[in-house]
Structure 1
């Protein structure tokens, strides 16, 4: 069975019935052509309506913010003893970052890397 969504495009009679139903709702009337023509993208309209900072927060894209290329994490596969992984997992959310910090501390203390 296909997982693609199937769209039903209404015929003229169905479209007319939908339009009549929309026009009969006094609390939510369809937009007029003039109103549609005045519309602008949110990225253009929001800063003047709510301010730059609030608009930036609303318009921020999904996911984590981008980082400078020199700060990107490297995806790797590593085999570790189960007890070591379990010990970090038991510390709760953020265990991978804490494991990264522990490796960084070890590398620094052994002169393998500097700073950061």
Structure 2
């Protein structure tokens, strides 16, 4: 989903007081009592040979293509692990 430049400009000029937070519940003590710290999984940088057409396709999907490649590989790994 892309946001038009006009919409971005309108959002930039909006003051914090004009933002409606009424549909967002406040975080109280019970939330933080049950909250759990989740650390991200460390990633390793590797050199990987991928067919040019595959890489071009992922890059054409836009920003975050490396994250999507990782997600595809992770899904494959999970499926194979269940066998």
Question: TM-score scaled by structure 1?
Answer: 0.36
Question: TM-score scaled by structure 2?
Answer: 0.49
Q: Larger relative CO (CA 8 A, sep 6+): 1 or 2?
A: 2
Q: Rg bigger for which structure?
A: 1
